[in-house]
Amino acid sequence: MIFEMTNFGVYGLPSEYKAVQSVLQVKVNTNSSPKKKLLKKSEEKAVSRSSTEQAKAMNATRAQHAVESVEDYLEAIADQIDQTGEARVVDLANRLGISHATVIQMIRRLQKDALVRSEPYRSIFLTEEGKKIAHEARHRHEITVAVLLKLGVSAEVAELDAEGMEHHVSQETLRAFEKFLKK
């Protein structure tokens, strides 16, 4: 993933979440014998991380949350355009359940990152890169929902859960999900 520091924070343009995936590898120290398959909670040892590892993990989490927001906006813009032929600030505010001011602020950020284009009092349009990211986010969402449904989760809960999970699914996990769905 490419991370970029701007005046507004950290933005990532996702194709794969390599930075997040490789941030932290933690070892759990246990003194149990190999014969014990499950440890009681009281027998588990705490996971220890250095302050550097913890800082890396926290930075990656913050970066990933910024990516989630960008992907949610781009996906919402694409969905709105698909449904009504245009995306306006008022439509996005209603769709996302947020204020007009918040939408306007994010649209400025997305314009700065060349993911959308817009003029005052006009519709919002995705750039080619914005369309690509929106398509990838929508694809991850659809696959995640399909897996949850196949596992027996209700449609309503699958949609709600997928909304958060879709942003944390690595390419490796997505391929495994697709393979699982073909069975």
User: How confident is the model over 11-28, as a mean pLDDT?
Assistant: 32
Is the Cβ–Cβ distance between 1 and 20 less than 8 Å? yes
Query: Regarding the domain delimited by 129-182, which CATH topology (the fold level of the hierarchy) does it fall under?
Result: Diphtheria Toxin Repressor; domain 2 (1.10.60)
For domain 2-21+51-127, give the CATH number: 1.10.10.10
Check: pTM over 0.85? Answer yes or no: no
Q: What is the pLDDT of residues 136-182, one digit of tens each?
A: 999 999 999 999 999 999 999 999 999 888 888 889 999 999 999 99
Q: Is the pLDDT of residue 56 over 70?
A: yes
pLDDT of residue 47: 57
Is the Cβ–Cβ distance between 49 and 26 less than 8 Å? yes
- 129-182 matches 2-21+51-127 in CATH topology: no
Tokens for 148?
């949850």
% residues pLDDT > 90 (the chain): 54
Question: Domain residues of the chain, as ranges?
Answer: 2-21+51-127, 129-182
Q: What is the pLDDT of residues 79-106, one digit of tens each?
A: 999 999 999 999 999 999 999 999 999 9
